[in-house]
Each structure stands twice: as structure tokens, then as C-alpha cells.
Chain A
Amino acid sequence: MNTIVVAQLQRQFQDYMVSLYQQGYLDNQFTELRKLQDEGSPDFVAEVVSLFFDDCAKLINDMSISLERPDHVDFKQVDSGVHQLKGSSSSVGARRVKNVCIAFKECCDVQNREGCLRCLQQVDYEYKMLKTKLQDLFNLEQQILQAGGTIPQVDIN
């Protein structure tokens, strides 16, 4: 094991993690999820976030269909979708996504189709962005493990 490489990777990992929090991509809930990961469920976080991204894709798709025709918008469906998205994003700690959902809900409440479309677009952007970031993070983790090191506990505060 190349300790220097490991140390470097670990450092990189740590910095990257902190930056994600600082930029508001992640919040405390993500930390909680990480705590739940252990030898018993070593891929727990990765599993959960991938479920989340799948959910996002599906919900966004359904909502875009509902919002498609300007004369025939099923706001109820959209509302339900936003609600679910809000729930799951808050559960995984996807802060930015959650925040868009809050604005999204407001547009939905007043049946503002334009607003909804904008929010939909934004939520789509945010989740994809987060997906990329987390992917990078997991890659770093893998590299550390492959280099024989352990994933450092990152203290975000």
C-alpha cells in the first residue's frame, strides 16, 4: 500500500466532501446516511442515492408529461410528484434539489404553469448535477479502498 497515495486520496476525498456541503449540494441528512453505512451495509449510501436518482428521473418525467399541454395541466399530479420529490430529496440530504421543490410547490399551488416548467427544468438540472458530483465522490472512495486505505470520516462543521 502506498501510504502517500492513500493519504493524498483521502485528503482529496475530504476536501471534495466539504466543498459539496459548502456549496449547498448536501446537508446534514447526508451525513446521517453515511453514519448508517457500516460493514453490514458497506454500499448503503451509494445504494440509496442511486434509488433517489432513479426516483428523480421518473418523477420528473411524469411531471413533464402533466405539464406538457398548456390547456390541460394536471396540477394535482404535479403536486403529488413534487411532494414525493421533496420527501425523498430531504431524506437523502439533497439540499439543492429539495429547495427547488419548495419553490416548485408554490408554483403548483397557484397553478402557475410557467413557473412549474421553470422549476421542473431546474430540478432536473440540480439532480443531474448532484448525481455527477456524488459519482466523483464515490470514485474517490473506490480509489482509496483500492489503494488499501480507509474512507475517512469527514466532519462537516
Chain B
Amino acid sequence: MTMTIEQEIEVLDQFPVGMRVLAVDDDQTCLRILQTLLHRCQYHVTTTNQAQTALELLRENKNKFDLVISDVDMPDMDGFKLLELVGLEMDLPVIMLSAHSDPKYVMKGVKHGACDYLLKPVRIEELKNIWQHVVRKSKLKKNKSSVSNGPGNSDKANNNRKRKEQYEEEEEEERGNENDDPTAQKKPRVLWTHELHNKFLAAVDHLGVEKAVPKKILDLMNVDKLTRENVASHLQKFRVALKKVSDEANQQANRVAIDSHLMQMTSHKGLGGFYHHRAIPVGSGQFHGGATMMRHFPSNRNLGRVNSLAGGMFQSSFPRNHNDGGNILQGLPLPPLEELQINKAFQSFDSQQNSLMVAPNNLLLLDGHPQSSSPSLNPGFSPHFETSNNKQRLEHWSNTVLSTNMPQSNVHSKPDSLEWTAFCDSATPLINPNMDTSSTSFCRNTDFGSSNAAQTDFFHPLQMNQQHANNWGPMPTEAQVFRNCDPKEGLHMASDAGSLDDIVNSLMTQEQSPTDFSEGGWVMV
């Protein structure tokens, strides 16, 4: 039933009092107890000891109940089956009840769509909070219906609204506003993997940046389930990034910085795959601080050479003005940079997730203190120029980091306005007014898109985080679910958490018991 916002709020005010629960258990003792417990929680309770009856009651009127609690072991129908059917037909939250504490059953319940899994004997405290599942579910439903033509919406009205939303979204992005509050956006997240982005790039390349419109790009990319809006928003960000890159590309020092940064970043495992698309002059930091580095660029001549080489390599990917940025955006290594004799001592970062955090921190720090003409280059913070490995590392990057909850954009968005000119002129301290040194913690997600309007997050970190959250999301009560089981700490992953699997696998040692954990990648730590 569709309600106005005001109506919904009203209902919620009384909620969870009067929440309508259907309780199903073939054991009359347990059912009676459950009924009383639920009454004590001030819910409205209907009971039946037959799964079949329960289904009939539910089918009779979908809106009659808010939540179903069902035992797992029932003679007339498997509780999991009931769970599935209820989920499919009525999309109501279902809580499983069982005397089985075996994680296998818990897992099964979750896989069949249970919101929660309670062990008998059920305590009243547990029942007092089950209403959260109703709220959560209805919130999800609302989000879904605003994206697609949900039930109760006329197609036309919905289409119009959708188009308007798209338009608005694009408009906003044109203006560079980052008001992508994930909760407001309500669009399914697209994970722009390395692969996906490459397809995007290829399409744009083919069309020419000037002529690359979302629809055409989408067609060329030919990716299932990718929508025009996804491409459009991605393209917006991309364009902005390109523009910034091209602005800086005129500065010769940029080339070097970008490349070295790129190398440095590519040697990391666990960085967002998007980084290689941004010619992020975060690398300026290192040069900035590193006198050693500076020494390697004794004259403009060298830089110039690098530049032209770089320029030469960039031709293919992007049109004209964005030469310099294009290649970097594809994350290709730049061989000539080897001449710069920059330290290759970056191995440590490959395996350490933490270092990832550290390095950019240091970068930021460096940038924040422009007067450090002293070579306070962070030890271990050296770009890695082994070109042969770069591509591989990039892939590592995009595979791993994309799905991690790491606030990556800060590092990369800030340096956009870095004064590259200053770089060549080593006398002038590098000042990046936009560099937000307060957010030195690479791990902190705080500045995402919200703060500097001038900054651009090429890929949307919130988006990614949201994606990440969503992937993990479906098990909101995993803590509860595990509570009564053997306390195995681990990551509970949905079987469709594709890239998350990669990340988790690479991040954690995986010990899988020989039992039925083949699906879904149970990771026991």
C-alpha cells in the first residue's frame, strides 16, 4: 500500500507497538510461549502450527502481516521452503526459529532469505528488536521502487520521474556538486571495475571524447545491467577529471609527478582501481619534499623529454587536449620515467594494506608543509618504476581496492589544484591550498565528495563504500545469527559478493572447514 510520507511517519510513531506478527511452529508448547512473548512485546500475534495454513493466511491478504516468525522443522513443510515462498511471494521479513544451533542451518536460513535466525528457547529480549527487520525491509522496498517502475506507480509517471531524476543527477554533476548522499540517491551501485572502466574508455576513445554521449558509450560497452545513468555519471566524473588533468598537464613537472605517483600507487595492492585513471598529482608531494627527487630533474630539458614522450604515448586514448591525461587514465606505465632513477624501494607496499594508508598520509603531510624543501621524503615512499609490473599491479589495485571500504578519493582529489609550476622552480614551496591536510588519515572517509566542491572524486567513493556496504548489508543481523553458534569470527559473505570475495581472500587468511561452506565463501579467521 502506498502511503504518504506523513502517513508513514505516523505509523512509525506507534511502531513497533501493534506490529502484526504471524508465528508458525508445529510444537504447541513453543508456539504458546512464543505467542505470549510476542504479546508481551506489544505485537499483534496470529499463530498457526501448520506452514500450509500460514501460507494461506499470507496469500489471503499480503498486507495483513508485517513479519513472519517460523520454526525450521515442521512436518508439513520445510521451514526453509516456507521462508523462500514468503520472501518471493510476499516479500515480508521472515525470522527463523530453531533448536538447531548448527551454523549450517543458520547459513541455510540466511541464504533462503531469513532476516534473522533465533535459537530456542527464545528470549523476550530478542523479540523486542525484531521490528527492525520490518523497517529495514520497507526502506529497501521504497528504494527499489523509486528506481524501477515499482508497484502502484503508473508507468508514465514513473518514467517521467525517472528521467527527471536522471537529468537532475547529471545537472548536479555538471556543476561538480557532490551531494551524492547515498541514502538519497537510491540507485543501485555500479562497481566500476578496472575491466568495466577499460570498456568505458575504449568506447569513449572510439567515439571521441567530444562526441562521447552516455547512450552511445553504453551501447558500445554492451554490458548487461549497466544503465545509461551509470554511464552518464561516470562520464561526468571522468570529464571533470580529464579537464583537471589537462590543466595541469601543461606543467611539465606534472608528468613526472603523475607518473611517479602512478608507479607508486600501482605498486600497492589494495588501492582503488580508479586511481590510475586520475592523473592525480598527489605525487607532487614526494617531489615537493624530496630533494633527492629534485635532483633527478636537474633541468627542464629532462622533464621536457619526459613530457613529450608521455605526450606521444597519450595520443591514442584521448582526443586532443587531453593527451597527457589520457594515457594515465588508462593506467599505462611510462617507460621513460625510468630515467628518473627514482627509488624502487616500494615493495613493502605491495603486501601491506596498511602501508597503503600510510603513504598517502605522508603525501598529504608533505603537501601540507610546503616549506619542506628538505628532503623529508618518507622512507619507503618511493615510486616504483618497474614498468613491467605496473599493469599487473594496477589490476591488483582495481580488483582489491575497489570493493574495500577505503576512503581513497581524498588523496587523489586534493592535488588537483596543485601548483605544478612551483615544482619546476624548486625555490618556491609547493602549496596546495586545497590539500586537506587535516584529513591525513587515509582511512577516514569523512571528506568524501562533501567538502571541497572543487574537488572531484573521479569514482565515487561513497558509491563504492555503499556498494561495499550493500554487499555486506544483507546480513544485518549476522552478529545475532552467530551469537548462539560457535563463536567463529569471520566474514559472512553473500554468495553473490563477487569482487568482495577477492578482497577478502587477499586480505585475510582463509580457513575453510571441510563442511558445507563451499558457497558464499565463508571466511573463518
Instruction: Show the binding face of A for B, using Cβ within 8 Å.
Output: 29, 32-33, 36, 41, 44, 47-48, 51-52, 54-55, 80, 83-84, 86-88, 90-93
| Chain A neighbourhood of B100, CB < 8 A | 83
Say if the beta carbon of B183 comes within 8 Å of chain A.
Answer: no
**Contact indicator A83/B28 (Cβ below 8 Å):** no
Interface residues of B in 53-80 (CB under 8 A from A): 71, 73, 75
23 A-B contact pairs sorted by A residue (CB < 8 Å): A32-B121, A33-B33, A36-B37, A36-B124, A41-B36, A44-B36, A48-B36, A51-B28, A51-B29, A51-B32, A52-B29, A54-B28, A55-B28, A55-B29, A80-B75, A84-B27, A86-B99, A87-B27, A90-B99, A90-B120, A91-B121, A92-B29, A92-B121
Say if the beta carbon of B202 comes within 8 Å of chain A.
Answer: no
**Contact indicator A36/B99 (Cβ below 8 Å):** no
| Chain A neighbourhood of B27, CB < 8 A | 55, 84, 87-88, 91
**Contact indicator A32/B73 (Cβ below 8 Å):** no
**Contact indicator A92/B99 (Cβ below 8 Å):** no
CB closest chain-B residue, reference A87: B99
Interface bits B97-138 vs A (CB < 8 Å: 1, else 0): 011100000000000000000001111100000000000000
Say if the beta carbon of B213 comes within 8 Å of chain A.
Answer: no
Number of residue pairs spanning A and B whose beta carbons lie under 8 angstroms apart: 59
- Once bound together, how far apart are the Cα atoms of A47 and B408, in whole Å? 61
**Contact indicator A87/B37 (Cβ below 8 Å):** no
Instruction: Show the binding face of B for A, using Cβ within 8 Å.
Output: 26-30, 32-33, 36-37, 40, 71, 73, 75, 98-100, 120-124
Question: Which of A41, A47, A80, A88 sits near B30, CB closer than 8 Å?
Answer: A88
| Chain B neighbourhood of A52, CB < 8 A | 29
**Contact indicator A47/B32 (Cβ below 8 Å):** yes
**Contact indicator B73/A90 (Cβ below 8 Å):** no
Question: How far does the Cβ of B105 sit from chain A's closest Cβ, in whole Å?
Answer: 11
CB closest chain-A residue, reference B28: A51
CB closest chain-B residue, reference A54: B28
| Chain B neighbourhood of A92, CB < 8 A | 29, 33, 121
CB closest chain-B residue, reference A101: B99
Question: How far does the Cβ of A87 sit from chain B's closest Cβ, in whole Å?
Answer: 4
Question: Which of B32, B98, B121 sits near A29, CB closer than 8 Å?
Answer: B121
| Chain A neighbourhood of B75, CB < 8 A | 80
| Chain B neighbourhood of A51, CB < 8 A | 28-29, 32
**Contact indicator A88/B123 (Cβ below 8 Å):** no
| Chain A neighbourhood of B40, CB < 8 A | 36
| Chain B neighbourhood of A48, CB < 8 A | 29, 32-33, 36
- Once bound together, how far apart are the Cα atoms of A32 and B26, in whole Å? 22
- Once bound together, how far apart are the Cα atoms of A84 and B49, in whole Å? 13
CB closest chain-B residue, reference A38: B40
- Once bound together, how far apart are the Cα atoms of A92 and B32, in whole Å? 11
**Contact indicator B32/A36 (Cβ below 8 Å):** no
**Contact indicator B29/A83 (Cβ below 8 Å):** no
Q: 7 tightest CB-CB pairs across the interface, nearest first? A: A87-B99, A88-B29, A91-B121, A52-B29, A51-B29, A90-B121, A87-B120
| Chain A neighbourhood of B29, CB < 8 A | 48, 51-52, 55, 88, 91-92
Question: How far does the Cβ of B302 sit from chain A's closest Cβ, in whole Å?
Answer: 76
| Chain B neighbourhood of A93, CB < 8 A | 121
Question: How far does the Cβ of A43 sit from chain B's closest Cβ, in whole Å?
Answer: 11
Question: How far does the Cβ of A57 sit from chain B's closest Cβ, in whole Å?
Answer: 12
- Once bound together, how far apart are the Cα atoms of A47 and B29, in whole Å? 9
**Contact indicator B124/A91 (Cβ below 8 Å):** no
| Chain B neighbourhood of A86, CB < 8 A | 99
CB closest chain-B residue, reference A56: B29
- Once bound together, how far apart are the Cα atoms of A33 and B123, in whole Å? 10
Given contacts A55-B28, A55-B29, A88-B27, contact A80 B120 (CB under 8 A): no
- Once bound together, how far apart are the Cα atoms of A83 and B49, in whole Å? 16
Question: How far does the Cβ of A155 sit from chain B's closest Cβ, in whole Å?
Answer: 18
- Once bound together, how far apart are the Cα atoms of A29 and B119, in whole Å? 13
Question: How far does the Cβ of B130 sit from chain A's closest Cβ, in whole Å?
Answer: 17
- Once bound together, how far apart are the Cα atoms of A90 and B99, in whole Å? 9
Among A48, A51, A87, A88: residue with most chain B CB under 10 A: A87
Question: How far does the Cβ of B99 sit from chain A's closest Cβ, in whole Å?
Answer: 4
- Once bound together, how far apart are the Cα atoms of A38 and B99, in whole Å? 27
| Chain A neighbourhood of B98, CB < 8 A | 87
| Given A32-B121, A91-B33, 5 further pairs, Cβ under 8 A | A36-B36, A51-B29, A55-B28, A87-B27, A90-B120
